[in-house]
Structure 1
Amino acid sequence: MSRGDRGPSLRGRRSECESLEQLITSVRTGQSRVLVLRGEAGIGKTALLDHVAGSAAECHVARATGVESEMELAFAGLHQLCAPFLDRLGRLPAPQQDALGTAFGLRDGNAPDRFLIGLAVLSLLSDVAEDRPLVCLVDDAQWLDQASAQALAFVARRLFAESVALVFATRTTADDQAFRQLPEMLVRGLGDADARALLRTALRGPLDSAVRDEIIAEARGNPLALLELPRGRTPAQLAFGLGMPNSMPLVSRMEQGFLRRLQPLPVDTRRLLLAAAVEPVGDVTVLWGAAERLGIPPGAAAPAAEAGLVEFGARVRFRHPLVRSAAWRAAGVRELQEVHAALAEAAELDPDRRAWHRAQAGTDPDEAVATELERSADRAQARGGFAAAAAFHERAAELTPDPVDRAARVLAAAQAKLQAGEFDPALDLLAAAEAGPLDDLGRARIDLLRAQVAYASRRGNEAPRLLLAAAKRLEPLDIELARETYLNAFSAAMYAGRFARAEDLAELAAAAPRATTAQNRKRDLLLEGLASLVRDGYSAALPIVRRALQAYRTEEISVAEGLRSLWVAGVVAADVWDDESFNVLPARFVKIARDAGALSELLLALNSRIIMLVFAGEQEAATAVVDEARAVREALGSERPLYEVMVFTAWQGREEHALPLIEASMNDVVARGEGIGAAVAQWAHALLLNGLGRYEDALVPARAAGDCPQELAAANWGLVELIESAARSGAPDIAADALERLSEMTQASGTDWALGVESRSRALLSEGDAAERLYREAIERLGRTAVRAELARARLLYGEWLRREGRRLDAREHLRAAHDLFTAMGAKGFGERARRELLATGETARKRTVETRDDLTAQEAQIARLAARQRTNSQIGAQLFISPRTVEWHLRKVFTKLGVSSRKELAGVLPDAVQASAPV
């Protein structure tokens, strides 16, 4: 190491240091930066983090280190990083306060969504950076607990203008999927000249040239290896090249080197190092408490510090993780158990760490320790640490003497693995539980968990069958759980659609109504309505379906229930042409999922919401939902196709954007066995082509969408597109057949939406006075609904018919109205159809688009719309998963571009943002 004007610099790391210094410069100027330093053990990642800390003058610096033995403790790494700033917790929005406080065990509450925790950390770090830039350094990130890794990866993806740097150091071979999509710097070995120079600093005597070349070759530029490998040879071996080369892997060689350095230390020093290695967070109070119980005197720390192996300050810090592992491996089993027992006594104020140490202190079954671990698992689960809960349950099972209790705890571990998204480990644990002595309820829960894994991981066609079997097995044992499982089975069957087995649906419809309860009227009505749709047919099911929808629309609904059932209720509302319920229920679903921070469910809710907004012709609201869905998808790190964008761009007639999305969506849903997704993609394709006037091309996707009635609403809409495309492309028989199938539902439904669409479709196959009467009926009925896009299409078709009848003046009225509606809705394809028809009547219609602010980016436009509705920066940030500081940064740009200086003025330049009638 040498020193320059800017402080210490690392040998052979000029380019890396310059990049890291530029990172700090960017943060000082108000930007945020994220970087993952990736390299093998000993390559110098920690030294580079130290260089960042040394370069961060006038910045807050926060550090955390992943510890292998702490990977089972939920949010331990995150707590390390955030602990200095928790006095600011009260400055966060209330849901974020609750989420982070619950995650850190500071308060009781329901298990928070992991993404809400991430948003809370983002807000906290942004708040800290308001004072001065913040630099967060995370070493050994490959050993962070899963909950911390996920939260920090979320924060890293959402940083923008917060003056925060987040730098991770992790190993090249680490399986840290959370950080794989972040910017990386690969830390390579030193060049030959720098390696030789560094090697010379480690020597105190002569070095044979052949030995030097061997060490240089073996180290491959690894700085720690260059410093440690000479320590493993005697002076004679270094000076004369005596002794055989060691064929052990490099990391093992370095660890062996540290082991050799531990051996000369006093016994008490080695035991203190072992205790420090086993105590995961470097808590000196706990460490010295354990040392006192082990009879280790305070002076035992000095030899280890003098040997450069460890630093004892406010926290214990090992020179390198290999020192920690060497101290651990050097101990015998009995010695390790004694140290864990002492640490358990010293950690009496931390019940989870105490339970974990007690569990490691013995190998014999111990129900008291297993019970303590089970309580820790419950606490971890309550904080949202499902991976940690699974680890506690697994260890509790290993220490459980009673076989029945042991199997139950393995089952609990499997449940926690499922909640953590670890599907394969969950299945492994289920297999282990299945081999144990379980009662009937335990066996039924195994069936249920296996089905839930299938549903959560694939949404495929095997999930309905598995959920059905689990529900039937649960009926005599737990009626409430059985009822929920039947509803989940219907949800899975709706997802599977055309890929679901007809016999499974029939059996599900026959079995579900048996499981009646008096505890949840809304859910039970919905379940019975779904069963009746399958078993009795559309007309017979309508009364009970409508009662269910009214209950969901008007009664209170809990967060848990809303997340479980509002998607199903919304799809059913669309299927029975209930535009009021289809407007209200997905909007309620969005609000519940958004407030809960449940991002996976929020994405599903936004997908449902966008379709109603397309039907309503609410372009501003639809744009906002699409923007939010993009933000959620980015926050989730999801690479799945953008279904909501696919539908929106198809309605807009943007073929160049819609077709690739439709193709990608079809490939994805077919691979996953999601029939409902296929129906939506095919309907969107037909909608796009009909809007462009390419009726023959629209026939194929429209027919494919309409041929699968089990896919509910999307199949109905496919029939509507099929009637129009077939009627316009000279295939009246196909159109007539589709109309007959459509009218069976629309007549039974009887809503203005249903009957208006039927009248419009029937008019396409009629002539003379009958056609005119039907078009007028369609316009009258659809004019009373929220589905203004359907009204615009009725006006267009009527105008086209009038023009063909030679009634040009009458045609102009309806074509002009349709053109204006489509223009306001942003439906370019249908709008162009109306414009061409107007030209054919002799009236010139200029191409128009709804006024947009092209100089605003998509995110700026969305923030402007929300700000115009007088949302605060915190509220906007919570909705878009960005920090309030980033919101403010964007708003300053918006004000400059639009020439305004306040939120109130935004309402004037973005009138649609405040006048949109549809809630988002």
Structure 2
Amino acid sequence: MLVGRSREQEALRNVVLSLGQGLSAALVLRGEAGIGKTALLDDVVEMAADVDVVRLAGLESEAHLEFAAMHRLLIPHLSGVDALPPTQAQALRTAIGLAADVPANSFLLGLSVLTLLANSTPTKPLLIVIDDAQWLDAESVEILGFVARRLFAESIGMIFSVREPADQQLLEGIPTIHVGGLSRSDASDLLLTLAPEHVDRQVSDRVAIRSRGNPLVIIEVSRELETIETSRSLLLDDPLPMGERLEKHFGEQVSTLPGDCQRTLLYAAAHPDLDIRLLWTATARDGISSDAAHPAVSSGLAKIAATLQFRHPMIRSAVYANASTSDRRHVHEVLATLMDPSTETDLRAWHLAAAANGPDEDAAAALEEGARTARSRGGYLSEATYLARAADLSPDPKRRASRLLNAAQAALTGGAPLRAQALLDAGLSQGQDPFLQAQIKKVQANALHRAGKPGRDTPAILMSSATVFAAIDIDMARETMLEALEQTFIRGALITGTTPLEVGRAALLMVSEKADVTDVLLAATGTYLCSGYLEAVPLIRRAIVALGAADALGEQVPRWFALGQLLAQLVWDEKAAHSWLIRCEALARRTGAIEYLTMTLTPLSGVEAVLGELASAESRIADLRQLSRAIGIDEDRVNKIENARLLAWLGLDDRAREAATRSFEVGAAIGAGNNQRLAQLALVVVELGRARYNEAYSVCKKLIEYDQLALTNEALPNLVEAAVRSNHFDEALLAVENLAVRARASGTPWALGLLARSEAIVATDADAEMLFDRAISHLGQTAVRTDLARSHLLYGEWLRRQKRRSDARTQLRIAHDMFDDMGARAFAQRTQTELLATGERHHTAAHDLTPQEAQIARLAADGATNNEIATQLFISSHTVEYHLRKVYRKLDVASRRSLRAVMRGSAARMGDNRLS
């Protein structure tokens, strides 16, 4: 019976209870060695009646073997792989070695595991209990953490224990309980119960204090009291075994064993899950019989089953730590000879590395082969570990640097940019040839960017690397140059180390005669940076056509994907911008590339906000928050994920200002001028929505002056309105002139509509009506409902000032209905104020679906199955079904057909012209 653990037991019991209610739950127990985590797991397993329990423990010897723990977990469920969606099934088969194929992204693999486990619980809930999670291999812990964070309505429970101190990133984002020491009274009672004949309350209280309530320490003290004569004074004065002392305590016990017994334990410590027959084979090579382990068994330090198992992990640590270096090397050398080189490449390599005495190219080459095996299964983090160890053993400095570079690239691919950076720091200390140095700097720049670190000089670094690559690998050079161009637009006015003009010139030098997608992108962006808008427009149009081709994306989202959106928006092509991001999002979902998926959702939300698809834009941010939780982002950071422009359109002024401030500050910290530009655009919408024209004018002026790259398409029409209404008419005329040059060169309906509206604002009364009509005609051909509604609003305001109240009401009603339906509250209120001035009142409608419910409802209404929705949203089909039941209840429908009718009717009322 556990002592003093009621809080922990209640939390664990709640996990099991939730399974009986058809829900899911996950929990992490953290605590130091011996604190009682395993005992708590034993307790919850014992009380989990009517639940299928799968239990496993992390093994330190498997920590470098990709997907090792996941393989052990899924063995009972592999018969269900064929029932998975094809892409998920193939991802899982490849990862666990059942098929040879291109390795899947880890998050697609995580979704396949979630689906497989969810499908295994049709009649009985499933409880997965994992002890010593700190020793899980990196791939398994990433996938299992993803699954735990995505659980919702699958009747699956996941409980982990983690020994501290441990990497705090491990299983982050999952509810956690820190298991501390027992209270003084509980610890004292425990010792009295274990050794009633050897201690009294005074002694047990003193031990309770000095043990810090660690149950294992108390148990070990009780064992000593039973086996040796110990006086009270000795007990009170001597240090108790805790932490390192506890390991030393076990080491002293091990040192009293016979030499052959210690050697046998060392073999088991060097490879804990070693089959007992292989253990006896290994010891036999040293002339040691299988009976040699009996003293360790009889003393309670270990037991023998299918493997030799230590009573506590610290005993294993003590065995290994107490052995001499030469003995450890010898044991690993013998174990390496016992590994099958055809099926246990990675294990053999690891033992060879541990047996190496200094630099050893043979061992390094074996590790490199193990890395290739890991990569073939998608185990990028394990690949990085193997390559880093291979680099340590490399006698040749150049080969060492190359292996460190490849290790860093593997870590970056595996979603560990900080680890990649640490490896690169080690690699940069060596003198390399220019090509290798350029590769290192490129990976370093990408690692810093993906880790959210300062990177104002990233364009300069990438441009420099591209220039070096050009002499050896032109395709690598051109791809790197596209990354440099994208980074130039991201850095904006905060760029250092080079200038946009220099980057543009370097890009144009790499345009070839192939005229492929890369060429037209290099030409369009390079020309824009070097020669300006008018020269670039024809090339931008060619690039947009090239990006629209079916094969433009390839098999994965390109790192420079933001260029596609940027070029489309430069020529006011809203359909191309939205379509490009939708395609990138779909590819990221299909391939499980969550990192790129999260990177597409924010700009997609921004584009949809401008289009007036505010509900869809909200669902993108809600999805981004959910995905961020799934990959372990802490809740405080998740709660700060906002889209300031969306909030501005929604009329949530305070939140929009806070989000804009954060975005501006983050931009300053990491050197991302584009963050600051978007923040200012959000503030412009806030001010115009509330008719605060002086403030809007001030922000617009700062924005245009700050915008080094002249990305002024969105700012210029806003400046015209704000300047006229704040008595800066000359500024408005100048803005119209600048807008006219760009809009006529573009020639798209959106551009021409904005130009006509801006001209109407500054026109004489005789010309204004014709220009407003022209603006509405052009904008009516677009998907940009916000600008169309604003044109009706401005037209209505002008008509009211002309004393044409009836005509004004017509325009204002249209504007109000559009703003109200899209959820643009501030502009709806501004329009309603105008309507009140004409003698009419309008009311807004309420919608009660949450963003995630609305997203699932739209997908279901469009014909997607539960499995297809689950795959797109990285959740289980059980969770989809749970939310759909709530949608049906809220909308008072009973079938998908009825849902489709309701959603289409709603879309029609809202003037929905969503882009396909």
Whether TM exceeds 0.5 here: the answer is yes
Cα 1:248–1:444 change in 2 (3 A) is: farther
Distance of 1:275 and 1:712 partners within structure 2: 67
Cα 1:182–1:635, aligned 2, differ >3 Å: closer, same or farther? closer
Aligned residue in 2 for 1:747: 744
C-alpha distance 684-259 of structure 1, shift in aligned 2 (>3 A): same
Match of residue 538 from structure 1: 533
Which position in structure 2 is the counterpart of 1:691? Answer: 689
| Contact 1:272 1:300 (C-alpha < 8 Å) held by counterparts | yes
Q: 1:400 to 1:663 in 2, by over 3 A?
A: closer
Q: Give the match for residue 263 of structure 2.
A: 271
Instruction: Provide the residue aligned with 1:885 in structure 2.
Output: 878
Provide the C-alpha distance between the structure 2 equivalents of 1:809 and 1:203, rounded to a whole number of angstroms: 95
Q: Which of 3, 13, 37 is the matching residue for 1:11?
A: 3
Matched, 1:42 2:28: no
What aligned pairs does 1:456-475 form with structure 2 within 5 A after superposition? 456-457=450-451, 458=453, 460-475=455-470
Query: Does the 8 A contact of 1:594 with 1:602 survive in 2?
Result: yes
After superposition, residues 317-396 of structure 1 pair within 5 angstroms as: 317-348=309-340, 349-396=343-390
Quote the sequence identity (%).
39
**Which residue of structure 2 lines up, in the alignment, with residue 3 of structure 1?**
none
Q: Which amino acid aligns with 2:569?
A: A
**How far does residue 300 in structure 1 lie from its aligned partner after superposition?**
4.5
Structure 1 residues 566, 252: CA separation in 2 closer, same or farther (over 3 Å shift)?
Answer: closer
Give the Å deviation of 1:782: 1.4
Conservation of the 8 A alpha-carbon contact between 1:680 and 1:705: no
Distance 1:223 1:634 in 2: 34
Q: 2 CA distance for matches of 1:561 and 1:37?
A: 37
* Secondary structure of the corresponding residue to residue 238 of structure 1: coil
Deviations 1:343-386 (A, max 9, x none): 32333132211211122122244333222211211232343333
Match of 2:861 in 1: 868
Q: Out of 447, 451, 455, which is 2:445 matched to? A: 451
**Match of 1:911?**
904
- Aligned partner of 1:406 in structure 2 is 400
Q: Which amino acid aligns with 1:576?
A: V
List runs of 5+ in structure 1 lacking aligned partners: 1-8
State the AA in 1 paired with 2:644: M
Aligned counterparts of 1:592 and 1:677: Cα–Cα separation in 2: 25
Q: Which stretch shifts more, 426-435 or 675-684? A: 426-435
From 479, 485, 504, the equivalent of 2:480 is 485
Counterpart secondary structure, 2:548 = helix
Candidates 771, 774, 777, aligned match of 1:777? 774
Q: Deviations over 1:215-262 (max 9, x none)?
A: 333212211101213556796651364599445872122222222332
Residue 848 (structure 1) aligned to one of 844, 847, 858: 844
CA distance in 1 between partners of 2:598 and 2:228 (Å) = 68
Q: State how far apart, in whole Å, the 2-side matches of 1:504 and 1:365 are.
A: 44
Q: Structure 1 788/217 Cα, relative in aligned 2: closer, same or farther at 3 Å?
A: closer
SS in 2 for 1:177: coil
Compute the TM-score of the two structures, normalised by the length of structure 1.
Answer: 0.92
Deviations 1:638-679 (A, max 9, x none): 426767642222112232442332233222222222111111
> In the TM superposition, what whole-angstrom CA distance separates every residue of 1:766-788 from its partner, at most 9, and x where no partner exists?
11222222212211211222223
Structure 1, 898-907 or 11-20: larger mean CA deviation: 11-20
Structure 2's unaligned 5+ residue stretches are: none
Question: Is contact 1:563-1:593 (8 Å) kept?
Answer: no
1:21 partnered with 2:13: yes
Pair 1:583-2:583 in alignment? no
Task: Select 2:597's aligned residue among 588, 599, 602.
Answer: 602
Other-structure match for 1:572: 567
Is 1:676 matched with 2:668? no
Residue 810 of structure 1 is aligned with which of 807, 812, 816? Answer: 807
Distance 1:104 1:710 in 2: 51
Aligned counterpart in structure 2 of residue 415 of structure 1, from 392, 409, 417: 409
Are residues 16 and 641 of structure 1, via their aligned partners in 2, closer, same or farther at CA, if it must alter by over 3 Å? closer
Structure 1 position 548, deviation (Å)? 1.0
> Would you say the 8 A contact 2:888–2:894 is kept in 1?
yes
Deviates further, 312-321 or 20-29: 312-321
Letter in 2 for 1:557: A
Q: In the alignment, is the contact (CA less than 8 A) between 1:64 and 1:139 conserved in 2?
A: yes
Distance 2:76 2:701 in 1: 61
| TM-superposed deviation, 1:535 | 0.5
Distance 1:52 1:919, change over 3 A: farther
Across the aligned residues of Structure 1 and Structure 2, the Cα RMSD in angstroms comes to: 2.8
Partner of 2:791: 794
Question: Which range is displaced more, 529-538 or 283-292?
Answer: 283-292
Write the mapping of 1:36-185 to structure 2, written as runs, cut at 5 A: 36-185=28-177
- Structure 1 position 725, deviation (Å): 1.3
CA contact (8 A) 1:679 1:704 kept: no
Change (3 A) 1:243 1:30: closer
Q: Per the alignment, in what secondary structure is the counterpart of residue 174 of structure 1? A: coil
- 1:60 counterpart letter in structure 2: D
Residues 644, 181 of structure 1: CA spacing in aligned structure 2 closer, same or farther, 3 A cutoff? closer
Contact 2:184–2:205 (8 Å) recurs in 1: no
Rounded Cα–Cα distance in structure 1 between residues aligned with 2:193 and 2:650: 68
Of 658-667 and 529-538, deviating more is: 658-667
Q: Please state if 1:765 is matched with 2:762.
A: yes
Q: How far does residue 533 in structure 1 lie from its aligned partner after superposition? A: 0.4
Q: In the alignment, residue 892 of structure 1 is paired with which amino acid? A: R
Shift, 1:619, TM fit:
4.2
Aligned to 1:5: none
* Matched position secondary structure for 2:674: helix
Q: Which residue pairs with 2:733 in the alignment?
A: 736
Moved more, 568-577 or 22-31: 22-31
Q: For residue 178 of structure 1, give the secondary structure of its aligned residue in structure 2.
A: coil
Helix, strand or coil: the match of 1:466?
helix
Answer with 206-215 or 60-69: which moved more.
206-215
**212 and 691 in structure 1: CA distance in 2 versus 1, 3 angstrom threshold:** closer
Is the contact between residue 705 and residue 719 of structure 1 (CA under 8 Å) also seen in structure 2? no
Could you tell me which residue of structure 1 aligns to residue 505 of structure 2?
510
Greater shift in the superposed pair: 342-351 or 485-494: 342-351
Residue 660 of structure 1 pairs with residue 658 of structure 2: yes
CA contact 1:652–1:829 (8 Å) conserved in 2: yes
Distance 1:89 1:725, change over 3 A: same
Alpha-carbon distance between aligned partners in 2 of 1:517 and 1:90, rounded to the nearest angstrom: 46
Correspondent of 1:725 among 717, 722, 725: 722
CA contact (8 A) 2:206 2:236 kept: no
Contact 1:869 1:914 in 2 (8 A): no
Shift of 1:332: 2.1
- Could you state the TM-score of these two structures normalised by the residue count of structure 2? 0.93
Q: Higher mean Cα deviation, 524-533 or 882-891? A: 882-891
Map 1:175-324 onto structure 2 (within 5 A).
175-200=167-192, 202-203=194-195, 206-207=198-199, 214-229=206-221, 231=223, 238-239=230-231, 241-242=233-234, 245-247=237-239, 250-281=242-273, 283-284=275-276, 287=279, 290-291=282-283, 293=285, 296-314=288-306, 317-324=309-316
Q: Deviations over 1:598-632 (max 9, x none)?
A: 12211222222223323333344334434333322
Distance 1:320 1:582, change over 3 A: same
CA distance in 1, matches of 2:877, 2:721: 48
Distance (whole Å) between structure 2 residues aligned to residue 519 and residue 297 of structure 1: 71
